[in-house]
A and B are shown apart, each in its own frame.
Chain A
Amino acid sequence: MTVSRLPINREVRVAQDLSATVFEDLDVNLFDLHIAAHSAAIGVLTGRTFRGCRLQGPAVMLVSAGVQFNDCNFGEPNGVMENLVLRPAGARALGTIPFRDTLFDGCEFYNVGFTGPDEILDVLLAVGKN
């Protein structure tokens, strides 16, 4: 039996190394993470692990292949996932922060929306309904 990391009640610990691949028990601004990746010419944040982290927006995360959420609080107090999801009108999604092959384990999201392909959004929308 695994023990949930939620809720995260520790003091704020702001992530300093935004190029790290593993973030554990840290607070991360998603737009800072994106800017750091962009300055390193990385378009998509890939191959990262966030464990026990608080992830802060304002940001809309583009969830693509290989992104997993395990035991996460998406930030909607009433569990209404519809309030967190935006459907892209086009084939691409500009203005978002794209993630691929990334694990979010025991994390909390603040002011973060989610978008992506329909099949991924449908899974997100089903969270809490089963």
Chain B
Amino acid sequence: MTDETPKMSAEEAAGRALVARTSFNKEAVWLPMLAVQHWNAGEMAITDKTFTDCVIEGPAVMAVMNGTVFDSCAMGATTDVKTLLYRPISKEKMAGVIGVGNCRFLRCRFVQVGFTGSDEMLAELETGIQTASGSAS
């Protein structure tokens, strides 16, 4: 007789299925929950996904990592782009943020989401970003 293999709960299985998805279309995505599901699956960042026509909801600060692009997105309800941006003090670690790498956001709308990253990334966001009245491309 052998021990039974432990089974995942339905909630855990749903979380793993969410993490395995590579595309999201016309959906509301709660970024903190998506991050927690990734962490529960042992993945410390959200990577290799395409979000099309989605509403990406916070509250959250996204660490924009290599390969992440924003195409025709509304980044937030503000007239001052800088209110969406944060400069990390450490160059090594950032706490409390959600890492997003190699993801494409196409025609998405961000609600209550801030952005951080390298100096180069922030400069690029600052010049390329537009707020809810416009779009970033």
The interface of chain A, by Cβ under 8 A from chain B, is 31, 34, 57-61, 75-76, 80, 82-97, 111-115, 125
Mostly helix, strand, loop or mixed at chain B's interface? mixed
- CB pair A94–B96 under 8 Å, yes or no, is no
Give bound CA distance, A75 to B93, whole Å: 12
Pick the most buried of A58, A84, A112: most chain B CB atoms within 10 A of its CB.
Answer: A58
A-B contact count (CB 8 A): 117
Question: How many residues of B are counted as interface, with CB atoms below 8 angstroms from the partner's CB atoms?
Answer: 36
- CB pair B32–A85 under 8 Å, yes or no, is no
The interface of chain B, by Cβ under 8 A from chain A, is 32, 35-36, 58-62, 76-78, 80-90, 92-98, 112-116, 122, 126
Chain B residue numbers with a CB within 8 Å of A57 are: 32, 95-96
- CB pair A31–B126 under 8 Å, yes or no, is no
Partner among A60, A80, A112 whose Cβ is within 8 Å of the Cβ of B86: A60
- CB pair B94–A92 under 8 Å, yes or no, is no
